[in-house]
Amino acid sequence: MIEETIISKAIIESYLNELLNSVESDVIIGGAGPSGLCAGYYLAKNGYKTLLFDRALKLGGGMPGGGMMFNKIVVQDAARKILDEFGIRYTEYGTGYYVANSLEATAALTDKAIKAGAKIFNLITIEDVIVRKDVVAGVVINWSSAEMAKLHIDPISFKSKTVIDATGHPSEIAHIVEQKSGGALLTPSGKIEGEKSMWADVAEHFTIENTKEAYPGLFVCGMAATAVFGGPRMGPIFGGMLLSGKKVAELVMAKIRTCVNLNKY
């Protein structure tokens, strides 16, 4: 016999226990698109307590839609090893161009990140940040449904050693920091430079190069890095997203190790 209340208790108790255990962490990633999921995988794999918050019901950001709702993506040769590591199948389409199924890629990134130990909470919006002594030290979250319904419901706070903005084109966390921190971003103008029009070749290099710290304690990756530092968009080629996710994980791990050695935490 199946008892409905036991099902309810199992869901509520297991979710709340996981949420309670996540109030303090090493890294919080805003956005579970390809770069965020990739970063979450590498961080969790290396033993860092990692959370991902995404406002959507389904994960993957723009990846599931492929190019104009054709559920295929292209990855260049530089990122092919990441496809192999995640077990994402692909076919070669001309020298240096590899085509993968966008749904398989999204599922594989999600599966690997969760199994590596990253905790992913969907349907949650990051609406503010915690800043202490001019350093981003966490985020403030609320239900996405409350935001969508424009309900006045107070949020709750989660602390972390670092925060990664992987929110894509809107670069939402960086915008919050720019508006509320009272300090300058680590960009040429001190502000968000803004995304430029499409130029895939330049964009792929620019995104990886500008995957870095944008404000003390806040790193940007993927399209958020492009928007914050002012590069062109690249469309449905995703090698730069994957490489950016891996790079930001490496930068964050190095930052945490340095701060631990300097007794800053």
In tens, the pLDDT along 9-35 reads: 999 999 999 999 999 999 999 999 999
Binding residues for glycine: 233
List helix spans (H) across 90-187: 102-116, 144-148, 172-180
pLDDT in tens, 180-215: 888 899 999 999 999 999 999 999 999 999 999 999
Given a contact cutoff of 8 angstroms between Cβ atoms, the answer to whether 187 and 229 are in contact is yes
% of the chain exceeding 70 in pLDDT:
100
Indicate if the pLDDT at residue 104 is higher than 80: yes
Q: CA 73 to CA 121: how far, in whole Å?
A: 25
Q: Residue 183's pLDDT is what? A: 81
Structure tokens at 52: 């991902």
Q: Which residues are annotated as a binding site?
A: 35, 62, 126, 152-154, 169, 223, 233
Could you give the CA distance from residue 133 to residue 111 in angstroms, rounded to a whole number?
Answer: 37
The confidence score (pLDDT) of residue 261 equals 78
Determine the pLDDT at residue 247.
98
Homologous superfamily of domain range 27-58+118-261: FAD/NAD(P)-binding domain (3.50.50.60)
Residue 192 confidence (pLDDT): 97
- Tell me the percentage of the chain whose pLDDT exceeds 90: 96
Binding site as annotated, residues for NAD(+)? 35, 62, 126, 152-154, 223
Give the residues across from 162 on adjacent strands.
Answer: 27
Residue 259 is predicted with a pLDDT of: 85
* pLDDT beyond 90 at 263: no
Beta-ladder partners of 165: 30, 220
Spatial separation of the C-alpha atoms in residues 234 and 226, rounded to whole Å: 10
pTM: 0.97
Q: Is the pLDDT of residue 265 over 90?
A: no
> Mean pLDDT in the chain?
96
pLDDT of residue 223 exceeding 90: yes
What is the predicted pLDDT for the residue at 264? Answer: 79
Task: List pLDDT tens digits, range 55-94.
Answer: 999 999 999 999 999 999 999 999 999 999 999 999 999 9
* Binding site listing for Fe cation: 154, 169
Q: What residue spans define the domains of the chain?
A: 27-58+118-261
